[in-house]
Structure 1
Amino acid sequence: MSPRTPSPDVARHGWPQALAAVLAALIAMWGIAAMGLLAAGAGGLPDGAFPRVVTATVVTAVGGTVELSGNAGALAESAAGITVMPLSVTLAGALVLAAGFLRPLRHRAVAGAPELAGWAARIAVLWVIALLGMAFAARQTFAVSLGSGTLGDLGDVFGLSPKVGFTTDVPLTVLFGVLWLAGVLVLALLVSPAAPLPGRLLRFQESVRPAAYAMVALLLAFVAVGSVIALVVAATRGHAAETVAVILLGLPNVAWLAFTLGLGATWTGRVQGPFGLPMPHVLDEVLRTKDVSTLNVHTLAQYDGRVWWLVVVDAVLLMAAAFSMATRSPARMRAWQHALHMAVALALTVLMICLVGRVSAHYGLSLLGIGDLGGGLSGELFLKPQVWGALGLALLWGLVTGFLGALLARPVRRRGEAGKPEDVRAPAG
């Protein structure tokens, strides 16, 4: 082969394949976001704003920053802000992009670092172009109705027409979008047992890959359980459109929050004003107070005792994850090593949930110092975890379930285990 002739490996994952992977991920995310927003009632937005709102949703799903702004004139003040990731959209994009990244690399045991870096760089270049396009497209301004109360009368007298809108912080959107992409590609290499690694990293796959696979399977299992529960609730209690909107926009937000609560973690938050949480009604009851509320299984159980089943579900799924991790690990690995790997992996998983599961939103409008007069023109919503407590509980659960999972996996034949006597054949001749 001539030195200038591209190798078959490079030819299999060039620019066309990179473009296909990026486009497939964007189409999946845009489609999920659009259907979720339609189910939530956003299809009737004025001034043809729906496509821009969908694009802004996709931007936030990959870690981008959307800034809210207001213009109410010299006699009025307005303020707004929102921080939330629609994790259903995030998850859809991550799965599709990871599949596109891994497809040309399948059926190979080893790949050189330059080859992997070149393949990832092609995807990254196209991804940055897409981020820039979405960041500049996700901009819109809306007029705000002052209602029929005192604020409305003052607005008519002074001829005020408040406006609110959203824009994107382009540099931060590109930065966090690239970090999100890097995380997806690295996790894809760690999770897939068929993905090739550079020779120098092969020694780490025995300890890292089984744990990474178990954690991803655990998170997807909670999303699957949440989907079943949501569909049952929609079929038996109505509110089908709202439930579909939650599934398509924020199901992992709810499911992974429930996962951390089942571990014993505590979140704090408050809901004030017309804001609503895309979550079970019991959460809204706990958080809709004058002061900051504490959210954990104890406070939720005061409203609904069935919340204690979260602990049981956590225990069952964590044991399944620990067993899966142990069966995928070399047979020579000891139980305490499994426990340590499970604890570290679970702590990192819970940390990720704490970082992406935060919710913060507020808005307010005041004319001549008069506001909050029953017109629904102000509100606040926030939800944040007590991180260190959650990480400590994750380490404890990981140590216990990792050790027990290793014991349960002992009777199961695993990779690297010597063959059984009946499998050994006599030498020929």
Structure 2
Amino acid sequence: MSAHTPSDQAVVRHGWVRAIVVALAGLIAMSVVAALGLWAAGAADLPEGAFPRVVAATVVTAVGGTVKLSGSAGPLAGTKAGLTVVPLSVTLVGALVTAAGFLRPLRHRAVASARELAGWAARIAVAWLLGLLGLALAARQTFQLSLGDDTLSDLGDLFGVRPEVGFTTDVPLTLLVGLLWLAGVLALALLVSRGAPLPARLLRFQESVRPAAYAMVALLLAYVALGLLVALVVAVTRGHARETLALVLLGLPNLVWLVFTLGLGVTWTGRVEGPFGLPMPHALDEVLRGKDTATLNLGSLAEYDGRVWWLIVVEAVLLLGAAFVMAARSPAGIRAWWHAVHMAVALMLTVLAVCLTGRIDARYGLSVLGINDLAGLAGELFLHPEVWSALGLAALWGLATGFLGALSARPVHRRGETTPR
């Protein structure tokens, strides 16, 4: 009879079956959320049985994959199309489910070897890539667009104009970016969870990194929770329940994390033109529509709705709460100014992540014989942050709230302190 080594037992606990379950759970959860959101948005009525393919494309974009739009309209016409947007509701659900599955067999352990963690993550990654490959191959479809009334249709038939728009995925790039997304989720899960084991060489970093990572994740989830509460109130009091459900299931973090940066004082630039629109408050659409490049910040929004200044109060309260949580979870003996530095660095990284994932670019155009927007289909929507000023503002807010949060957490008993008898 042979004895099992700790590494053998780890392989049993973190075997291939469990890895496949974790990967599939994440992808299935994302697919369900995407399908419900697209159904609420009316995508279930798409022709040619395209709904499952659109769901697959939504999941692909949610993990950072690339979906390419293409168009054709006959020999005498031209089209242009492009889309860059991440449905962050789908992303968030997938990250939470995958992280929970990854951490579950690691509970109640103080230390795990780097080899064990790498092997467990690698098995999940293989299963994840196979599932993502199937979704990427399924995410392709072509639609024929209507030119509208009889006159335009007759003109289109005369010149052989049959506008079509479709989408495909860049499979290699999608797999690469999807693998990086998974690696980021698993690494962040280890950083956020106090109970997850780390290799012995990394234990000295957990006291400085884990409290800050936990505080930032809690901050972002707090904004999502507030946004969900507001969405429910709006759905009950003003109707439009189906549209609100679509926003919640597809893009709620896109909206609330944009609000999070606006509360810091961050400026975004953008434009809304044509049939495109933003599933956001009316004031935001008013600021962006009809200008070559509009400036979006608290000042420009306040011209349409003065209540936006309350976002500064909400920002201060939530940031102070995050700073308090960070300090309370940190060991005793760390000075307040050092907490402030930790908070500033963590907030800068968080704001950078929001700026990179919250960008939006969408455009479509149709021209016949050089005449643009013949059928009223052309439009453009983009929203970009001013990244460097955003990072500077995040640093200032982080230093101030980190210092105050550390002072407010002093009465809290923390690890490393002795209780006087």
Partner of 1:382: 382
Cα distance change on mapping 1:39 and 1:386 into 2, 3 Å: same
With the length of structure 2 as denominator, give the TM-score of the two structures: 0.98
SS at match of 2:48: helix
Take 1:151 and 1:27, find their aligned partners in 2: how far apart are those partners? 43
Partner of 1:263: 264
RMSD, aligned α-carbons: 1.2
1:364 is the counterpart of 2:365: yes
Contact 1:151 1:367 in 2 (8 A): no
Take 1:160 and 1:363, find their aligned partners in 2: how far apart are those partners? 16
SS at match of 2:275: coil
The one-character-per-residue Cα deviations of 1:152-188 (angstroms, maximum 9, x if unpaired) are 3321213432211000001110111011001000000
Partner of 2:404: 404
1:15 is the counterpart of 2:16: yes
Contact 2:74 2:160 in 1 (8 A): no
Partner of 1:415: 415
Contact 2:359 2:385 in 1 (8 A): yes
With the length of structure 1 as denominator, give the TM-score of the two structures: 0.96
Contact 1:151 1:370 in 2 (8 A): no
Partner of 2:338: 337
Bigger shift: 212-221 or 7-16?
7-16
Letter in 1 for 2:121: A
Letter in 2 for 1:401: T
SS at match of 1:53: helix
Shift of 1:277: 0.5
Letter in 1 for 2:410: R
Take 1:382 and 1:173, find their aligned partners in 2: how far apart are those partners? 22
Partner of 1:392: 392
Partner of 1:187: 188
SS at match of 2:168: strand
Alignment of 1:288-327 (within 5 A): 288-327=289-328
Partner of 2:206: 205
Take 2:138 and 2:25, find their aligned partners in 1: how far apart are those partners? 19
SS at match of 2:381: strand
Take 2:151 and 2:330, find their aligned partners in 1: how far apart are those partners? 68
Take 1:417 and 1:150, find their aligned partners in 2: how far apart are those partners? 81
Contact 1:214 1:324 in 2 (8 A): yes
Contact 1:151 1:371 in 2 (8 A): no
Partner of 2:126: 125
Shift of 1:309: 1.1
Take 1:11 and 1:383, find their aligned partners in 2: how far apart are those partners? 48
Contact 1:32 1:249 in 2 (8 A): yes
Contact 1:18 1:122 in 2 (8 A): yes
Partner of 1:251: 252
Take 2:420 and 2:321, find their aligned partners in 1: how far apart are those partners? 26
In structure 2, stretches of 5+ residues that fail to align are none
Alignment of 1:22-171 (within 5 A): 22-148=23-149, 151-171=152-172
Take 1:397 and 1:209, find their aligned partners in 2: how far apart are those partners? 20
Alignment of 1:224-235 (within 5 A): 224-235=225-236
Take 2:409 and 2:363, find their aligned partners in 1: how far apart are those partners? 49
Partner of 2:283: 282
Partner of 1:424: none
Letter in 2 for 1:349: T
Take 1:120 and 1:56, find their aligned partners in 2: how far apart are those partners? 25
Take 2:47 and 2:173, find their aligned partners in 1: how far apart are those partners? 28
The one-character-per-residue Cα deviations of 1:105-137 (angstroms, maximum 9, x if unpaired) are 010000000000000000011111112111111
Cα distance change on mapping 1:149 and 1:394 into 2, 3 Å: farther
Shift of 1:4: 8.0
In structure 1, stretches of 5+ residues that fail to align are 422-429
Letter in 1 for 2:364: Y
SS at match of 2:418: coil
Contact 1:246 1:278 in 2 (8 A): yes
Equivalent pairs counted in the alignment come to: 420
Shift of 1:355: 0.2
Letter in 1 for 2:87: P
Take 1:97 and 1:172, find their aligned partners in 2: how far apart are those partners? 21
Letter in 2 for 1:360: D
Partner of 1:174: 175
SS at match of 1:180: helix
Bigger shift: 4-13 or 19-28?
4-13
Shift of 1:3: 6.5
Bigger shift: 211-220 or 280-289?
280-289
Shift of 1:150: 5.7
SS at match of 1:46: coil
Shift of 1:6: 6.1
The one-character-per-residue Cα deviations of 1:203-260 (angstroms, maximum 9, x if unpaired) are 0000000000000000000000000011111111111111110000000000000000
